[in-house]
């Protein structure tokens, strides 16, 4: 499995030669950030899944910070954040909002955002802020819960897949001899 993943992940020499990353060379070239085994891969998947739900363009920065702190495979953590994209982010955020509402015990129906009217822009802005603040608490709680759940499931699934792959490889090797 390591050979399969190494084909798609950059090596640390690529980082060493990148002029933009030169100031961070000492921390980015730590050997554990580039070593690929079942522990570093599972941690990287968990970090990537958790940080993938960070709003805005900060997902990869969050995944890189988690990889540096927890010393897991950096390229894999960055790659896994790509599960959130323009097609998946809206369903994931709706799911997070629903999870937050469920945990808060909110049984009210969804309130649609205020309709935009250019003639009453100031009133619309105020109404939109109120609507966003009302949605913020369930969304925030739901995002944290969903991120933690995805990270745990990704960690366990990666460990299990790696183990399954090793057992299968051992059995095939045993059959050949």
| Residue pair 95/139 in contact by the 8 Å Cβ criterion | no
Identify which of 4-8, 9-13, 110-114, 155-159 has the greatest average pLDDT.
155-159
Predicted confidence (pLDDT) per residue in 98-116, tens digit: 999 999 998 777 777 888 8
Instruction: Please state the domain extents for the chain.
Output: 2-176
- Res. 71 pLDDT band, cuts 50 70 90: very high
Residues 6+ apart with CB under 8 A from 114: 124, 127, 128, 131
* 133 has pLDDT over 70: yes
Contacts of 62 (CB under 8 A, 6+ apart): 50, 51, 54, 81
């Amino acid at each position: 499995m390591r050979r399969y993943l190494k084909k798609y992940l950059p090596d640390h020499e690529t980082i060493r030669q990148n002029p933009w990353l030169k100031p961070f060379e000492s921390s980015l070239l730590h050997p554990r950030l580039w070593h690929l085994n079942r522990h570093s891969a599972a941690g990287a998947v968990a970090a990537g899944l958790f940080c993938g739900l960070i709003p805005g363009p900060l997902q990869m920065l969050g995944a890189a910070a988690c990889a540096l702190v927890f010393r897991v495979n950096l390229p894999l953590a960055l790659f896994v954040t790509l599960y959130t994209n323009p097609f998946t982010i809206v369903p994931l955020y709706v799911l997070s909002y629903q999870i937050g509402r469920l945990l808060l015990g909110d049984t009210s129906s969804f309130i649609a955002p205020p309709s935009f009217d250019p003639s009453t822009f100031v009133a619309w802005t105020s109404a939109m802020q109120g609507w966003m603040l009302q949605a913020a608490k369930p969304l925030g709680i739901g995002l944290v819960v969903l991120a933690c759940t995805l990270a745990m499931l990704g960690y366990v699934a990666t460990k299990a897949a790696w183990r399954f792959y090793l057992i299968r490889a051992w059995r095939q090797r045993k059959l050949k001899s």
